[in-house]
A = this chain, B = another copy of it.
Amino acid sequence: MAPPTGALLERGTSLKIGQSPRTKCPPPFLSKTYDILEEEEEAIANGQRIVSWNYEGNGFVVWNPAEFSEVMLPRYFKHNNFSSFVRQLNTYGFKKTASKRWEFQHDKFRRGYRHLLHEITRKKCEPSAFPAYLKASEEHKSTTLEGNARVLMEENKNLRRERLELQMQLAHFKTLEIKLLECLSQCISSHGHQRKIPRLC
């Protein structure tokens, strides 16, 4: 992919380290990594390269991790630890794309497309409503965790059934009571009051 026409100008207007971010700017890690590659462009000519954009410009390669860690990292970050750098790349969703080289790629990390950096976000805060431990449990719902819930739901269903049955029986007895009372009422009214009839309620 060819860089846009403003690519050369863009380098001049790139955020420098320590510059206060007046506008919405990408995470420092991304800007700094981009800076490293832009500024290494010149250094490549007169020596063996430490780090550079890959051929396609859609990723980069750390050709010399040792040199990169000792020289480049402390210049841009607060450490000289290559694995910390890799950890950050993973946090932002970069993928290692070659088995024999330290080559990393991200869809939005391309030579000449600094403005795409702000579209790169940390992977951490993605499934906030559905974190990893829930994913894991989701997979095992049917086995362990939902076992209890399943028992409870079963019990629940049975209780509802019992309730319905009881309500139906109750309705039956209420109807029956009405009929009995009617019946009794007729019986009594047609023969007058009887001392032998007990109190009902």
Contacts and interface: CB of A to CB of B under 8 A. Distances in A.
A184 interface: yes
Contacts of A188: 187
B200 A196 contact: no
- How many copies of this kind of chain does the complex include? 2
A179 interface: yes
Interface in A149-201: 149, 152-153, 155-156, 159-160, 162-163, 166-167, 169-170, 173-174, 176-177, 179-184, 186-188, 190-191, 194, 196-198, 200-201
Interface residues of A, number: 52
Interface string A80-119: 0011001000000000000000000000000000000000
B196 A190 contact: yes
A173 B186 CA distance: 21
Given A166-B163, A170-B170, A180 B177 contact: yes
A2 interface: no
A140 interface: yes
A66 interface: yes
A55 interface: no
Most buried by B among A137, A167, A170, A182: A137
A74 to B, nearest CB: 13
Contact of A136 (B137, B153, B159, B191): B137
A132 interface: yes
A200 B176 CA distance: 7
Contacts of A162: 163
A13 interface: no
